[in-house]
Chain A
Amino acid sequence: MNQTGILFFPAFDWSLGEAHPEREERLLYTQEQLFEEGVLDLPQIKQYFPGIAPLHDVLRTQALFPEPETEALEAHLIAAGSAITLGEARVRGEIRNGFVLVRPPGHHAGATVWGNRGFCTLNHEAIMINRLRAHFGIKKIAIVDTDVHHGDGTQDIFYHDPNILFISLHQDGRTLYPGTGFVHEKGGPNAWNQTLNIPLPPGTGDEGYHYVLEEWVLPRIQAFAPELIINSAGQDNHFTDPLASMNLTAKGYGRITELLQPDLAVLEGGYSIEGALPYVNLAILLALAGEEFQQVREPQPQTQTPLTLSSFKHYLKTLRQEHERVTPHWPIEKKPFLPMGNWISLPHSVYYDTEGFQETRHDTIRQCSHCGGTVLIETRRLREQQKHYLVRIPFQSCPDCLQAGFDLWEYLTKKAERVLLQDQFHDKVYFWHNHKGVRPF
């Protein structure tokens, strides 16, 4: 099993709009580069055909509102299906690792979806991860998000999940979209410290990035001992990226891959389609395949000098101290319909930049020392009256949380207009609509 899988799906006939960064051209030059290099002729590389994710797999992980079928999902379903194809190949032992090199990206898409945000509608990694848990009994998975933007969607989906370790390295949210991912975001009441955000200063560079991986990220992964490591491999840390300023090189990306040794790398963002993508994608694929990537170099010279390692070390030291000082605060929710137990209330809002609207969320989590805890999410598109609900019964749910989930579902289907039940324990998904009744997915 020394094969490296590649699922290359550049969606050459799909874009988010004329002249949009997420357009047909995005992976065109990557294709030219990979094909011309003959990477697919390497004996250890195995190419896979894209799949289409069934709606059941999507809804197990994400609640689509107002209707499960409303979004124009085709390209997104193929991206998610492709992640599943390669994920399953990995778990079946057909490949040692793999690269899901697909458009569109997914890591800004969260537990509830009202539309496209940060170019993402479906979260491929999360959908794939939960599929592997449901079908193959995988328990512990680590996600390392190396996109320059905070992987807020993935964090949102797994924030209460003690069996997922989510680590995001990104340019500081004070200077970049989506403006989240600070050290105090460390996970929900049942999954405290299972989310690790490492905001990095502009100009970090290869050396600093590798340093933080070796000093902080890798030891944390090792302590968690996951069965699988998934890398959300965004490519916008590259020094040619038009929006961010992290100053990494293609070779630097190769080294990140070599350090993380992910079971799967999944392409996220990265819109320097000529200066970075062909080279970064090549370096990542070569690193996964165990080939030398030192000679992969982008044509453009790096003009800005990265931060010195000593000043970066100083930054990181302060950040870690700050991280350690954060202590949890769990405001208790008391509403009569909530079943027995302690329910923690976490309200927040989510901005959808593609169409420019706000989602108001109120998450309520059943505190539990036996399992991930039942999650209730109330969601409303701002300026709309109707509140919709997501009830999630976790994988390996304890009997109390299971009962609590069903009680909530029963209560809400009498009261609310739309409710999605994610019964991850039984791998069942139901959608309630007060005019249409209950529909299984």
Chain B
Amino acid sequence: MSQRIGIDVGGTFTDAILIRKNRIQRHAKVPTQTEDILATILNALDALSIRDENAIDHITVSTTLITNAILQNRLPHVELFLFPGRGMALDALPWPVPYHTLTGEMDYRGREIHPPNKAEWKNLHALVQQNPSALYAIVGKFSHRNPLHEVTLANELRQRYSALRLAMGHEWGQANFYRRSLTTYLNFAGFDMYHSFAQHLQQAITARKIQAPISILKADGGVLPLTKIRPIDSIYSGPAASVLAPLTDMAPGMSAIVVDIGGTTTDIGLILSGVPLLSAKGAKIGPYSTLVRSLAVRSLLLGGDSATFASDEGFELKNYRLGPAYCLGGQVSTPTDAMRYLGLIDYGSAQRAEEALVRLLPPEERTPSSLRKLAYAIVESLVDQIAESITSLKNEWLEEPAYKVWEVLHPHEAHAFHIRLSGGPAQGIAQALEKRLATPVECSSYSEVANAIGAAMARPTFDCTLHLDTTRNYYHVEETGEQGKWTGAKRPYHEVLAFLNQLAEMQAEKVGIKLRDPEIEPFDFFPVVRGYETVGQIIRGAMHMRPGVIGRLKR
């Protein structure tokens, strides 16, 4: 009967929503127990008090499990073996984890420059012997072009220690040795935690007699089946959900700036002609730069509950929260109090809101007109910082690097943006934001459970990027790290598209999703010329299913 459940684990609260035939049936909010995400999710699910388990055909969870484990440094250590080759000094970039370096080098086309020095590997044996149950990761520079060194070392270690747990960098097939190393590290470190979570979640859901498949929301706003997702891809799904949510009640093909203002943080995203903007670079989490594809989101440490103190300049908004707003029974003044005083929002005590503002002014200035002025100034200061982030995000989009003449001659078209505002204090800043950016603002109808809606309605994303070198007869897929032999023509044309299709079909089947109207990027052909002769081609092409939602909600 087409019922979907979305659960979003947030920092303070976890929201759940039940959607039936594109209508919201029920929603629930439970406190998040940071130490027990699983219990939290089940509480939220139970709070929906589902009656007809069989009618549910999909559950999507957006979880902070891995995000929190990384940020709180709760992941196990992974021994990292690197083949860094020569080039930029390793320590030019900050490595948040220790590593061992090994001899052995590949070049940018996957040709071996230096073989590994097997004498060095003897020391590794000693290391592994001491701790055979630890996690090990091997990453080589240019291993995405040729994994030979990684595979040889892995095989050698596995021969001696058959149960050894190993991850290899070439499984993350994108360029960037530094990010590939850290991504391999984090993903492997989070492996056990994620899989134990997944297993328990599946068991608990089954115990509740729900047969529906479970999906996890990823940083790029797409969903994948619980058992198919790579743990690290589950980071930053909350902000992704908040960017997806407005799509469920927007006309298709519209462009919007998404502002989701909470108590402590404000997330800002961009929707361009109905498609959320992806970040050009991989996600950064804590001290780790990764290859994780994520939506371009600016997270401001400011919100309705930001602690507000008197200062020499009048007042100062802090980037932290000290409990709820004064007008809601809290201890400190906040922007929410200013909004309440001005009558922009209708919750909280008006009298306490006034008191909150009075506390920020010296006794001689506590007149109604000064209070009004101060209240406006506080709201405007909040809006100014949000506006700055919006500008910076728009610039990131407008200034995405371009590597082709065509791209420079056809820059991004102008979009007619409107602002989609959601979150508790949304009403409080709507007017000021509209004025500041001279852009129409619309407040979301389901502000308080927007993220759960985004999760429930998210659809799968899919990317398959082919790199084919017909001179060296190999191909490679960025997303999976798959590498293989090319047996086709040296200068193929139409057969490349068929080949990409075939790879994509296989890849989609592996992760358990169906390819629906994938978008195909134009291929780039690089004739490889040696001497005066064209000896082959390097070909790049890609297929995508962009982030989006499965449909629109009816009111």
Contacts and interface: CB of A to CB of B under 8 A. Distances in A.
Interface of A: 8-14, 18-19, 23-25, 28-29, 31-33, 35-39, 41-42, 47-50, 52, 74-75, 78, 274, 278, 282, 286, 291-292, 295-297, 299
Given A13-B524, A50-B408, 5 more contacts: A23-B529, A37-B88, A39-B88, A74-B409, A75-B405
Given A12-B526, A36-B108, A36-B142, A41 B179 contact: yes
Contacts of B141: 36-37
6 contacts: A24-B524, A32-B142, A35-B175, A38-B93, A42-B92, A74-B405
A101 to B, nearest CB: 11
Given A25-B538, A37-B177, A41-B289, A49 B399 contact: yes
B414 interface: no
A230 to B, nearest CB: 23
A296 B405 contact: no
B96 interface: no
A36 B405 contact: no
B288 to A, nearest CB: 12
Contacts of A38: 88, 93, 176-179, 289
A299 B112 CA distance: 10
Contacts of A296: 86-88
Contact of A18 (B88, B400, B403, B534): B534
Given A19-B527, A32-B108, A49 B86 contact: no
A74 B178 CA distance: 36
A14 B405 contact: yes
A57 B526 CA distance: 32
Q: Rank and list the top 6 A-B pairs by shortest CB-CB distance, nearest first.
A: A32-B108, A38-B178, A35-B175, A49-B399, A13-B404, A299-B113
A170 B400 CA distance: 36
A32 B144 CA distance: 11
A362 B225 CA distance: 75
Contacts, number: 117
Contact of B403 (A9, A37, A274, A299): A9
Given A291-B88, A291-B92, A8 B406 contact: no
Contacts of A74: 405, 409
A49 B529 contact: no
A292 B92 contact: yes
Contacts of A31: 403
Nearest to B400: A49
B86 to A, nearest CB: 5
A25 B538 CA distance: 9
A32 B526 CA distance: 13
B527 A25 contact: yes
A36 B107 CA distance: 10
A286 to B, nearest CB: 6
Contacts of B529: 19, 23, 25
A38 B180 CA distance: 10
Given A33-B108, A36-B142, A41-B179, A286 B88 contact: yes
Most chain B beta carbons < 10 A, residue from A11, A37, A295, A296: A37
Contact of B527 (A18, A29, A291, A297): A18
B98 interface: no
A254 to B, nearest CB: 11
B528 A25 contact: yes
Contacts of A297: 86
A14 B448 CA distance: 51
Contacts of A47: 401
A49 B289 contact: no
Contact of A28 (B142, B398, B538): B538
B328 to A, nearest CB: 40
A32 B524 CA distance: 15
A274 to B, nearest CB: 8
A11 B526 CA distance: 11
A439 B527 CA distance: 42
A33 B108 CA distance: 6
A184 B61 CA distance: 76
Interface in B499-533: 524-529, 532-533
B1 interface: no
Contacts of B403: 8-12, 31
B179 A50 contact: no
A18 B408 CA distance: 22
B109 interface: yes
B207 interface: no
B525 to A, nearest CB: 8
B108 A19 contact: no
B534 A42 contact: no
Contacts of B406: 13
B538 A11 contact: no
Given A13-B406, A35-B176, A295 B108 contact: no
Contacts of A32: 108-109, 142, 145, 175
Nearest to A78: B408
A140 B400 CA distance: 33
